[in-house]
């Protein structure tokens, strides 16, 4: 299954996984694209809440997580 993290409709991280994050967990990912001032390579923490639970699409084989409410743990490198 592929885990995809979205911020304002844009995918900022994707990876293969066998685990679906449960509500109440916190995931950490390193972003792969720019969105809303969040640079690629930034390490962010995302709470998985009941207000924005994971969306599991068994037909596509994906799990979507909404990154709203994220915290930046480490800024990505400056962009040119």
The per-residue pLDDT for 54 is 96
Q: Sheet holding 26-30: strands in order across?
A: 26-30, 43-47, 71-74
> SS3 for the chain, per residue?
CEEEEEECCEEEEEEECCCCCCCCCEEEEECCCCECCECCCCEEEEECCCCCCCEEECCCCEEEEECCCCEEEECCCCCC
Which tokens hold the place of 24?
A: 């109440």
Domain ranges of the chain: 2-74
pLDDT tens digits along 23-60:
999 999 999 999 988 999 999 999 999 999 999 999 99
Whole-model pTM: value is: 0.91
């Amino acid at each position: 299954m592929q885990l995809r993290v979205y911020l304002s409709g844009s995918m900022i991280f994707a990876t293969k996984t066998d685990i679906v994050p449960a509500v109440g967990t916190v995931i950490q990912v390193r972003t792969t694209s720019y969105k809303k001032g969040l640079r690629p390579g930034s390490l962010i923490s995302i709470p998985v809440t009941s207000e924005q639970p994971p969306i599991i699409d068994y037909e596509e084989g994906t799990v979507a997580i909404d990154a709203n409410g994220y915290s930046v743990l480490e800024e990505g490198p400056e962009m040119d």
